[in-house]
Amino acid sequence: MTSRLHIDMAACSGHGLCADLLPELVATDEWGFPIVSGDAIAPSLLPLARRAVRTCPTLALRLLTAEEPEPYRAHRKAGHR
């Protein structure tokens, strides 16, 4: 069962602790906010990923399993793909 990182960007305030813990998976933009790829997490990194979820000051980080769908972003503004 693969997991991937998901960040609730509205809860995120850019503390950057996740990027400190998981530089392999989380990059930061010039304003300090995280950029995650959404790819599956390597099993060796899972413990660190779980720690990152616990450490996030605003609990913005979640581990989603492969089955869980991407959180809903309203189609009103989905635009074209």
Partner 1 sequence: MTAPHPGRPRAASTGGHGRSAANPARLTAGWRHPGPASLREHLDIYGPLPRVSGRGRAGFLADAVGEAGLTGRGGAGFPTGTKLRAVAARRGPAVVVANGMEGEPASAKDHALLTRSPHLVLDGAVLAAEAVRADVVHVCLPRTKPGLAEQVRDAIADRERSGVPGAPVEVHDLPHHYVSSEETSLVRWLNGGDARPSGGLGRPFERGVRRRPTLIDNVETLAHIALIARYGPAWFRQAGLPDAPGTMLATVSGAVASPGVYEIAVGTPVADLLGWSRARPDVSAVLIGGYFGTWHALRDVAGLPLAAGGLRPVGASPGAGVVVALPEGACGLAETARVLAYLAGQSAGQCGPCAFGLPAIAEDFAELASGRPGGTVLERLDRRLGVLPGRGACRHPDGAARLAASALTAFAADVHLHARHRPCLAARRGQAGGDVLPIPRPGAEGEWE
Partner 2 sequence: MTAPSPLWYATRATGVMALLLLTAVVVLGVVGVARIDSPRWPRLFTADLHRNLSLLAVAFVGAHVLTTVLDTYAPIGWISAIVPFTSPYRTLWLSLGTIACDLLLAVVVTSLLRVRLGYRTWRSVHWLGYASWPVALWHGIGTGTDSKLPWLLAIDAACVAAVTAAVGWRLTMAQRRPGRLTAALACAGVPLATAAFVAVGPLQPGWARRAGTPVTLLAGTAAAAPAVTAPAAAPVPPAGGSFTGHAARASDGPGQVTITVTAQTLTPAQSLVITLRGAPDDGGLTMSSGTVSIGAAGAAAGYTGPVVLLRGHHLVADLRAAGGSAVRARITLVIRGAAATGVLSVSGGAR
Please name the residues in contact with 69: beta carbons below 8 A apart, sequence gap of 6 or more. Answer: none
Strands 34-36 and 3-7: unpaired
66 binds, among partner 2, partner 1, none (CB under 5 to 8 A by kind): none
> For residues 69 and 78, what is the distance between their CA atoms, to the nearest angstrom?
16
Amino acid at 6: H
Q: Of 11, 40, 42, 46, which lies in the binding site for partner 2, with binding defined by CB under 8 A?
A: 11
For partner 2, the binding residues in 21-60 under the rule CB under 8 A are 21, 32, 53-55, 57-59
Q: Which is nearer to partner 2, 47 or 79 (CB)?
A: 47
The residues binding partner 1 (CB under 8 A) are 8-14, 29-33, 35, 71-80
